[in-house]
């Protein structure tokens, strides 16, 4: 039995750090475990250009000074992105890619694009400049069943876009379905996917286990067991196209426990311990290192982090709640015991 692992600091390839008070608290949690993280641009005022991304970078750095942590910024896909702006994005060492939200699919996506094909002119320029496109892969048609929105996004949009722009590197974020795992596996090496802890741990029953569970609500919404099993299979397969992205997305408790609760699960405080728990429970702990510290870096053409983390098998209780000014955030697995502890070496 493996009781201790030491490996290069992992990268969280999909992270929400928010702004103000939340940013101050949650950025430190990620910085304590991860060497780098890709920071999502869906703030209340989205990060729509390189100037805003550089300002946000400085804020994140300011809050994470004591750690060896590098935020990798993203731009919110928008139709105002000109060739000049794309060139600025390409040469910035602080910006890693552009994140596309179909309008209305998730938190702060009301400035997203309504028709996927309207992005083609910009995709073409991104392909030439070799700027990665990160996608929230769900259709925004309210008439489509919410459990089918990811699958239909692939059929209707992604297959065509990849045919049209085969050299564009695309990351399908937070995959939640069997269809996504198949699409990514079968397509070229320019297509990869991030995987969250919640899509590995739970199927959709979790949303209704003993009553309505707002803290299990995220987007893409949890799916049937066969999908969880497929996503888990992809994560522990050792296939380099699947890598770690927590999608840690904090919302205040009062905003989740509400008549119209926000989507998003907070996992950053114990992210590596939770992934270790999941891989270990599935007899795949030896696959954790590459999933966390290598495959994502390779896809984004980054070298691995120099510093290391240590994961030790020992009991660890996830806190019931995390205090912030004027409220609290409830973490994934709140109050539950897990069997791993993570520290910087």
**Residue 177 contacts ligand NCD per CB under 6 A:** no
Q: Cβ of residue 196: shortest distance to ligand NCD, in angstroms?
A: 8
CB nearest ligand NCD: which residue? 264
Stretch near Zn ion under the rule CB under 5 A, chosen from 88-96, 145-153, 243-251, 283-291: 243-251
**Residue 139 contacts ligand NCD per CB under 6 A:** no
Q: Which of residues 283-342 bind ligand NCD (CB under 6 A)?
A: none
- Judged by beta carbon, residue 263 or residue 324, the one nearer ligand NCD is 263
Query: Does 247 participate in catalysis according to the annotation?
Result: yes
**Residue 264 contacts ligand NCD per CB under 6 A:** yes
Q: Which of residues 46-105 bind ligand NCD (CB under 6 A)?
A: none
Strand partners, 121: none
- Judged by beta carbon, residue 32 or residue 100, the one nearer ligand NCD is 100
Give the Cα separation of 107 and 109 in Å (integer).
Answer: 6
Give the Cα separation of 188 and 167 in Å (integer).
Answer: 9
How many residues sit in the footprint of ligand NCD (CB under 6 A)? Answer: 11
Task: Fill in the per-residue mask, 14 to 53: x = in contact with ligand NCD (CB under 6 A), - = not in contact.
Answer: --x-------------------------x-----------
**Residue 12 contacts ligand NCD per CB under 6 A:** no
Give the Cα separation of 148 and 137 in Å (integer).
Answer: 11
- Judged by beta carbon, residue 64 or residue 107, the one nearer ligand NCD is 107
**Residue 107 contacts ligand NCD per CB under 6 A:** yes
**Residue 249 contacts ligand NCD per CB under 6 A:** yes
**Residue 106 contacts ligand NCD per CB under 6 A:** yes
Candidates 70, 179, 247, 280; binder of ligand NCD (CB under 6 A) is 247
Query: Which candidate, 134, 243, 241, 123, places its Cα nearest to that of 186?
Result: 241
Q: Which residues bind ligand NCD (CB under 6 A)?
A: 16, 42, 106-107, 136, 218-219, 247, 249, 263-264
Positions marked active-site: 247
């Amino acid at each position: 039995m493996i009781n201790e692992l030491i490996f290069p600091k992992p990268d969280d390839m999909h992270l929400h750090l928010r702004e103000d008070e939340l940013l101050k608290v949650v950025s430190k949690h990620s910085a304590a475990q991860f060497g780098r993280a890709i920071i999502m641009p869906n703030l209340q005022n989205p990060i729509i250009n390189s100037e805003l991304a550089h300002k946000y970078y400085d804020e994140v750095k300011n809050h994470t000074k004591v750690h060896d942590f590098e935020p990798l910024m993203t731009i919110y896909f928008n139709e105002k992105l000109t060739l000049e702006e794309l060139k600025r994005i390409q040469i910035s060492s602080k910006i890693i890619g552009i994140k596309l939200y179909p309008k209305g699919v998730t938190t702060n996506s009301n400035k997203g694009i309504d028709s996927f094909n309207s992005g083609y002119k910009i995709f073409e320029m991104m392909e030439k400049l070799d700027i990665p496109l990160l996608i929230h892969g769900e259709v925004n048609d309210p008439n489509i069943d919410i459990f089918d929105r990811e699958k239909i996004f692939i059929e209707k949009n992604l297959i065509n876009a990849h045919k049209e722009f085969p050299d564009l590197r695309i990351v399908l974020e937070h995959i939640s379905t069997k269809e996504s795992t198949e699409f990514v596996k079968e397509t070229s090496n320019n297509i990869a996917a991030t995987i969250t802890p919640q899509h590995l741990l739970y199927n959709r029953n979790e949303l209704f286990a003993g009553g309505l569970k707002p803290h299990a609500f995220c987007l893409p919404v949890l799916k049937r067991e066969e999908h969880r099993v497929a996503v888990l299979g992809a994560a522990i397969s050792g296939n380099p196209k699947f890598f770690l992205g927590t999608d840690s997305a904090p919302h205040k408790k009062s905003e989740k426990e509400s008549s119209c609760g926000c989507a998003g699960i907070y996992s950053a405080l114990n992210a590596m311990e939770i992934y270790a728990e999941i891989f270990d429970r599935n007899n795949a702990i030896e696959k954790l290192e590459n999933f966390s510290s290598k495959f994502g870096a390779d896809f984004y053409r980054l070298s691995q982090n120099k510093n290391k983390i240590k994961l030790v098998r020992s009991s660890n209780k996830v806190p019931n709640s995390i205090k912030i000014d004027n409220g609290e955030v409830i973490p994934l697995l709140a109050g539950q015991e897990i069997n791993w502890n993570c520290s910087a070496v």
